[in-house]
Amino acid sequence: SPEIFDVKMGSRARKGWEPLSHTHSLGARVICNHIPGLVNKQRQLCQRHPDLMQSIGEGAKEWIRECQHQFRYHRWNCSTLDRDHTVFGRVMLRSSKEAAFVYAISSAGVVYAITRACSQGELKICNCDGQKRGQASDDRGNFDWGGCSDNIKYGIRFAKAFVDAQERMVKDARAMMNLHNNRCGRMAVKRFMKLECKCHGVSGSCSLRTCWLAMSDFRRTGDYLRRKYDTAIEVTMNQDGTGFTVAENYNRSTKNELVYVEKSPDYCLMDRAAGSLGTAGRVCNKSSRDTDGCEVMCCGRGYDTMRVKHVTKCECKFKWCCAVECKDCEDVVDIHTCKPHKRPERLDRN
């Protein structure tokens, strides 16, 4: 569900995204005025480029899925409450490491979606990178630019203008942090551009190559930003408000790192103000000592065990020709889920 996109679009933005699929039948002005949470600059960009907004909306599904994938075994799992669209906004207010990740991956998602849409010819304003012409070379020799190189420059430029506009209002530590992490996300997509080539020449000799630059799968960006989350740097803003000071007492450049201002809650218990859903009911792994293990996931509250029947395909046989036939096999597996927090008795009375 795309509610996390509220981060950039303001609260209750999700409702505003739904009509975007009807962009063609309604005036851009009407649409853009009905997406809540856009700042003026974003509303202008929206009116000028309603087709780009469509790509951004579709891209949001992709980065939210990626965020949830990266954190599937963690207490904080990149979800928010279904009906309360403000919850995630509050996580953002906390300027935590998780906020840093969400800003970075959502910015990366916008770059990715716009760049891809440019290449696919879906947008009026951009198409393939026209500067990649003539000859070039890599470690395997010369090649001709051809095909359609992904126009990442345009994707980055638009994402910067659109996403960063949300932070241009106030210059405080949180805005600085968000801008920094937005940039980190944009650059992450660029980092994984790869050269793709087609061979020509006498019977596949590959003496001639035609190549183009293409973005890698978004998973690469997700994996990369996930590692950056693990090593994110705690910072405080300089007194003159022009930059960061690394909070810890060591020298580390923040250039390509995620930064955060506030320590995270432990995400064990439901705490709306802190943006924590708690881990009650989360599935955990009894034999793991890692973050997906019942001990860590359930924060020591213990877990419930449920036996469930699990149907799998088994005893598969290849049948001439050409099919595979399997039997349905049932086995019983135990599913463990975290117990809810037990409130003290006296709070339960009355």
Ligand X SMILES: *[C@@H]1O[C@H](CO)[C@@H](O)[C@H](O)[C@H]1NC(C)=O
List residues binding ligand X (CB under 6 A). 68, 77, 79, 249-251, 277, 279, 281-282, 285, 287-288
Give the Å distances, CA to CA, from 138 to 142, 196, 203, 236, 311: 7, 12, 22, 42, 51
* CB of 336 vs ligand X, minimal distance in Å: 10
Q: Which is nearer to ligand X, 11 or 79 (CB)?
A: 79
Q: Which is nearer to ligand X, 73 or 145 (CB)?
A: 73
- The closest of 137, 136, 130, 133 to 151, measured between CA atoms, is 130
Q: Which is nearer to ligand X, 46 or 277 (CB)?
A: 277
Q: Which is nearer to ligand X, 25 or 249 (CB)?
A: 249
* CB of 308 vs ligand X, minimal distance in Å: 13
8 A C-beta contact, residue 336 and residue 307: no
Cis-peptide into 322, omega within 30 deg: yes
Q: Which is nearer to ligand X, 68 or 86 (CB)?
A: 68
- The closest of 187, 188, 106, 195 to 150, measured between CA atoms, is 195
Residue listed under structure tokens 């995204």:
17
Q: Which residues contact 296 (CB under 8 A, 6 or more apart)?
A: 75, 289, 290
* CB of 296 vs ligand X, minimal distance in Å: 12
* CB of 81 vs ligand X, minimal distance in Å: 8
Q: Which is nearer to ligand X, 203 or 249 (CB)?
A: 249
Q: Which is nearer to ligand X, 68 or 127 (CB)?
A: 68
* CB of 203 vs ligand X, minimal distance in Å: 47
In the structure encoding, which two tokens stand for residue 281, read together? 């009911």
Q: Distance between CA atoms of 276 and 138, rounded to whole angstroms?
A: 48
* CB of 322 vs ligand X, minimal distance in Å: 33
Q: Distance between CA atoms of 13 and 240, rounded to whole angstroms?
A: 34
Region class of 201: left (phi > 0), else alpha (psi between -120 and 50), else beta: left
* CB of 68 vs ligand X, minimal distance in Å: 5
